């Protein structure tokens, strides 16, 4: 049983994250969609309707969340991104056009981060503190780069039910606190359940679009387990997916279920990272992130 003591004597913690990628995420995943306006309109729906519905649902249940916005979306939907920020939600960096990090060198990864950061800062007047790689793995040294750039947390990796620290990639003296990871789980995302396009086929092989009630049941079941074990529940949503007229009630009913308990701490990613740094001194012994880091060092 976990022994983490969350703020205000909460038994578990919840971080709601939203990827507002517009059409750029699907173009990275499925380049054949380029120029196909009917297909692209599926992913542009988020900016038209989904963002407002998600914001309204979060406001209804007094939840502050963390949104990841690529730089190009900040440039093309600046007023909308500024409104998300004005409603006290956190804005994080997800690159410039939702790049596939597996295709980029370390220097290229640094460049797209800087492009995204500059675009966000131009709209918001401040730099993003959180980062998510849209897809792919970051290169050795990138976590150190993020920390040096003032990023305090990431939600890109998986492999745990609690936050953990990324170890430095070098043995040089570190003067800033380590990067905190808020790990994801595929079953706690809307995309694996609902993303769909007819031609070209997304997902390959089709079909998807399961029962809304069954997805809600899954998420409630998962949260109940996270709550029982005292863990950190990180949900990953997309406004074009969860923000449809019918699916928004899946989010509303999930939030109502979580709010029905009086011992849950809702936090933004930045709030969670700050609290974790103050309250936890190191990863658990034998944590996979440390085992993997040692293995990389031995192979170098």
3-state secondary structure 242-253: HCCCCCHHHHHH
**pLDDT given for residue 174 in this prediction:** 61
What gap in Å lies between CA 67 and CA 21, rounded to an integer?
Answer: 10
What gap in Å lies between CA 82 and CA 170, rounded to an integer?
Answer: 37
* Domain spanning 7-299: CATH superfamily: Glycoside hydrolase/deacetylase (3.20.20.370)
Q: Which residues contact 14 (CB under 8 A, 6 or more apart)?
A: 223, 232, 233, 234, 235, 258, 264, 265, 266, 267
- Please give the distance of CA 147 from its chain centroid, rounded to a whole number: 17
**pLDDT given for residue 1 in this prediction:** 46
SS3 153: strand
Other CB atoms within 10 Å distance of the CB of residue 166: 23
Paired with 181 in beta bridges are 154, 164
Counting Cβ atoms within 10 Å, is residue 282 exposed (0-12), middle (13-18) or buried (19+)?
exposed
Q: Which residues contact 221 (CB under 8 A, 6 or more apart)?
A: none
Query: Would you list the domain boundaries of the chain?
Result: 7-299
Q: pLDDT in tens for each of the 300 residues of the chain?
A: 456 889 999 999 999 999 999 999 999 998 999 999 998 999 999 999 999 999 999 999 999 999 999 999 999 999 999 999 999 999 999 999 999 999 999 999 999 999 999 999 999 999 999 999 999 999 999 999 999 999 999 999 999 999 999 988 765 556 678 999 999 999 999 999 998 887 887 888 777 789 999 999 999 999 999 999 999 999 999 999 999 999 999 999 999 999 999 999 999 999 999 999 999 989 988 888 887 777 666 666
Asked if 92 and 132 count as a contact pair (C-beta separation under 8 A), the reply is yes
Return the sign of the alpha-carbon dihedral for residues 233, 236, 239, 240. negative
Other CB atoms within 10 Å distance of the CB of residue 157: 19
* Predicted TM-score (pTM) of this structure: 0.94
Asked if 264 and 11 count as a contact pair (C-beta separation under 8 A), the reply is yes
Asked if 181 and 154 count as a contact pair (C-beta separation under 8 A), the reply is yes
């Amino acid at each position: 049983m976990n022994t983490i003591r969350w703020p205000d004597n909460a038994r578990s913690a919840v971080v709601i994250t939203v990827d507002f990628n517009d059409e750029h995420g699907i173009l990275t995943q499925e380049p054949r969609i380029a120029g196909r306006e009917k297909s692209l309109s599926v992913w542009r729906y988020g900016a038209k309707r989904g963002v407002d519905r998600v914001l309204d649902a979060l406001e209804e249940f007094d939840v502050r969340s963390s949104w990841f916005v690529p730089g190009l979306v900040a440039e093309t939907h600046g007023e909308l991104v500024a409104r998300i920020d004005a409603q006290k939600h956190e804005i994080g960096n997800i690159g410039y056009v939702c790049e596939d990090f597996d295709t980029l060198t370390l220097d290229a990864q640094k460049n797209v981060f800087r492009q995204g950061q500059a675009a966000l800062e131009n709209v918001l007047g401040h730099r993003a503190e959180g980062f998510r790689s849209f897809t792919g793995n970051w290169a050795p040294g990138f976590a150190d780069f993020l920390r040096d750039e003032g990023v305090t947390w990431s939600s890109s990796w998986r492999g745990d039910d609690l936050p953990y620290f990324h170890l430095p990639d070098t043995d040089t003296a570190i003067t800033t606190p380590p990067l905190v990871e808020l790990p994801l789980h595929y079953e706690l995302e809307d995309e694996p359940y609902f993303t769909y396009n007819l031609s070209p086929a997304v997902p390959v092989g089709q079909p998807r679009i399961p029962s809304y009630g069954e997805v809600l049941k899954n998420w409630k079941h998962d949260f109940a387990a996270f709550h029982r074990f005292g863990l950190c529940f990180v949900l990953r949503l997309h406004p074009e997916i969860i923000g449809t007229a019918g699916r928004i009630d899946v989010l509303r009913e999930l939030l109502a279920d979580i709010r029905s308990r009086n011992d849950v701490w809702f936090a933004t990613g930045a709030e969670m990272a700050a609290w974790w740094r103050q309250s936890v001194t190191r990863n658990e012994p034998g944590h996979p992130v440390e085992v993997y880091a040692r293995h990389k060092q031995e192979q170098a």
